[in-house]
């Protein structure tokens, strides 16, 4: 499949959890199809991805596969990333981002590199309007599970009122077409809380609302809106079959495993500097399936009492461990120097860790990238979800796919020492439950590998998409 005449522009929100799957897809497109691909996120995130770039002059850069050109969100000098007040930030992001992305498309056309298709992730609903203004086709790349897409879709297509009217009753059961009954507490908080104007994430709710309105506007008598989704068909067969008015193409899992990570094309994309403690060599010294790996992602800020609980649990569980605690989350005065049984790192190559034979369990916040990576690597999980899709992902892990357990959080959302140790014993022990979880982890690892292998269904779906442009 050669599509060298095509030029894909992949645009994404400046969060690590959005950049990762978008960049993996961009590199797959370039590697597998020969297409020209440009990757675009905000200037501030771009500078963190490429810290050696000069502050003066063009920010455009390249690797062996793709070109990187950032768009402005009006916060170009912010080295921290997205400001804490989303309700202030998002209107600027939407207004300035749409303008500057449009300017990039015009500049590329003027330089003889016209864009053939725009692929955009969630929180960029305006990207479809920008594409339409330039008479360019576009496709949404949904970077959460199909189950979550179905919940949002039904919410914004007639079932939002029942959720809103019962949002304070966490045990209230909601029945959405094509889906099992779910309790309010299982649904994304962007739907159950953020619909209220005073909520700190109200602008995120509005962005999702605009996204699904945009999809509906794209429907015609002759064509359906196209949604690429970072999942694989075997994992969510029923959920993917719900949609008759959309063309859903599962193309996942999109992982860096597909690309040689030691080559230039396999590097880049991280907003955080990887720790140089030699954690992979440390893993080499540990027995198979013996190590607990714990990370709560790029956004979660863990308070001192939670850090203390986790440290005590890890030290007392008598299992070696690697724990990711970001540099920006170490200001609470927790003494990590007293670590004896494990290693605390600031950031790491998560897929390399999960794919290491010594890792036996992943304690995770249940962000979709982490869940998919764990499934693809065949590692069982302990879920400690906080917000967004994480609560549903944790339920799917435990009740649907059978590859882990969901920890019960205590007051103020704290994962207490006793509960974490209970969960670790359950998933890494010698009992029937642990054996079943490990068996299911192997099963889903094989299914994920089949999907993304050459001529696997996800691979074929990506080909179908490219050939449709």
pLDDT tens per residue, range 186-225: 999 999 999 999 999 999 999 999 999 988 887 766 778 8
Q: How many Å apart are CA 123 and CA 142, to the nearest integer?
A: 10
Report the C-alpha dihedral over residues 125, 17, 229, 167, rounded to 10 degrees.
-70
pLDDT digits over 72-120, tens only?
Answer: 998 887 665 566 788 999 999 999 999 999 999 999 999 999 999 999 9
Residue bearing tokens 């094989």: 446
| Tokens coding 267 | 């590097």
Residue range 449-466: mean pLDDT, rounded:
92
Question: What does the mean pLDDT of the chain come to?
Answer: 88
Residue range 129-136: mean pLDDT, rounded:
94
What is the pLDDT, as a whole number, of residue 270? 72
- With cut-offs at 50, 70 and 90, classify the pLDDT of residue 267: low
Residue range 59-63: mean pLDDT, rounded:
88
What is the pLDDT, as a whole number, of residue 24? 93
Q: Is pTM beyond 0.75 here?
A: yes
Write down the catalytic residue from 18, 24, 356, 365. Answer: 18
Q: How far is CA 81 from CA 54, 118, 157, 299, in A?
A: 18, 24, 33, 11
**Beta strand extents in 276-370 (DSSP E only):** 291-295, 321-324, 342-345, 359-364
Q: What angle do CA 448, 461, 246 make, to 5 degrees?
A: 110
Please answer whether residues 216 and 206 qualify as being in contact, where contact means their C-beta atoms are separated by less than 8 angstroms: no
Higher pLDDT, 71 or 310: 71
Q: What angle do CA 107, 109, 113 make, to 5 degrees?
A: 105
Q: How many Å apart are CA 444 and CA 401, to the nearest integer?
A: 8
What is the pLDDT, as a whole number, of residue 80? 58
Domains present along the chain, CATH in parentheses: 7-147+191-259+454-468 (3.40.50.2000), 272-449 (3.40.50.2000)
Q: How far is CA 90 from CA 50, 87, 206, in A?
A: 24, 6, 10
Is the pLDDT at 444 greater than 90, yes or no?
Answer: yes
274 is a catalytic site residue:
no
Q: How far is CA 399 from CA 378, 396, 411, 439, 440, in A?
A: 17, 5, 24, 15, 12
What is the pLDDT, as a whole number, of residue 156? 94
Is the pLDDT at 56 greater than 60, yes or no?
Answer: no
91-113 b/e (C-beta count within 10 Å ≥ 16 → b): eebbebbbebbbebbeebeeeee
Q: Residues near 141 by Cβ (< 8 Å), separated by ≥ 6?
A: 10, 21, 22, 25, 119, 120, 121, 227, 228, 229, 230
Given the DSSP bridges, would you call strands 173-174 and 182-183 parallel, antiparallel or unpaired? Answer: antiparallel
| Tokens coding 108 | 């590329």
What is the pLDDT, as a whole number, of residue 345? 87
Q: How many Å apart are CA 29 and CA 7, to the nearest integer?
A: 10
Is the pLDDT at 409 greater than 60, yes or no?
Answer: yes
What is the pLDDT, as a whole number, of residue 207? 95
Q: How far is CA 451 from the centre of its chain?
A: 18
């Amino acid at each position: 499949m050669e599509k060298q005449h095509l030029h894909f522009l992949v645009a994404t929100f400046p969060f690590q959890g959005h950049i990762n799957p978008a960049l993996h897809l961009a590199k797959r497109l370039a590697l597998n199809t020969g297409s020209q691909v440009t990757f675009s996120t905000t200037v501030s995130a771009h500078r963190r991805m490429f810290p050696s770039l000069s502050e003066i002059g063009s920010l455009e850069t390249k690797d062996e596969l793709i070109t990187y050109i950032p768009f402005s969100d009006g916060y170009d000098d912010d080295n921290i990333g997205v400001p804490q007040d989303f309700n202030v930030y998002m209107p600027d992001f939407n207004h300035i981002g749409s303008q500057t992305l449009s300017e990039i498309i015009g500049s590329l056309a003027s330089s003889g590199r016209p864009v053939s298709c725009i692929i955009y992730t969630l929180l960029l609903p305006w990207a479809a309007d920008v594409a339409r203004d330039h008479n360019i086709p576009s496709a949404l790349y949904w970077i959460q599970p199909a189950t979550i897409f179905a919940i949002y879709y039904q919410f914004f297509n007639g079932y939002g009122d029942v959720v809103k009217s019962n949002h304070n009753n966490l045990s209230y059961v909601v029945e959405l077409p094509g889906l099992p009954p779910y309790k309010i507490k299982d649904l994304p908080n962007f739907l159950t809380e953020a619909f209220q104007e005073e909520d700190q994430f109200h602008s995120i709710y509005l962005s999702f609302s605009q996204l699904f309105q945009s999809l509906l506007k794209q429907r015609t008598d002759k064509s359906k809106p196209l949604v690429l989704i970072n999942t694989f068909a075997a994992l969510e067969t029923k959920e993917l079959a719900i949609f008759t008015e959309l063309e859903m193409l599962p193309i996942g899992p999109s992982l860096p495993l597909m690309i040689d990570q030691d080559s230039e094309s396999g590097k880049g994309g991280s907003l955080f500097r990887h720790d140089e403690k030699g954690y992979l060599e440390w893993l080499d010294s540990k027995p198979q399936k013996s190590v607990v790996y714990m990370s709560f992602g790029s956004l979660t800020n863990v308070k001192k009492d939670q850090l203390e609980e986790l440290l005590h649990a890890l030290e007392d569980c008598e299992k070696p461990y690697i724990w990711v605690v970001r540099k920006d989350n170490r200001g609470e005065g927790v003494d990590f120097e007293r670590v004896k049984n494990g290693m605390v790192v600031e950031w790491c190559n998560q897929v390399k860790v999960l794919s290491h034979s010594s890792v036996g369990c992943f304690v995770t916040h249940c962000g979709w990238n982490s869940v998919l990576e764990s499934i693809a690597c065949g590692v069982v999980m302990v879920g400690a979800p906080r917000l967004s899709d994480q609560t549903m992902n944790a339920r799917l892990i435990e009740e649907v796919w059978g590859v882990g357990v969901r920890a019960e959080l205590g007051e103020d959302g704290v994962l207490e020492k006793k509960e974490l140790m209970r969960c670790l014993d359950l998933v890494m022990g010698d009992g029937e439950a642990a054996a079943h979880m490990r068996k299911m982890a192997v099963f889903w690892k094989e299914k994920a590998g089949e999907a993304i292998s050459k001529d696997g269904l996800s691979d074929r779906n990506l080909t179908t998409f490219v050939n449709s442009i």
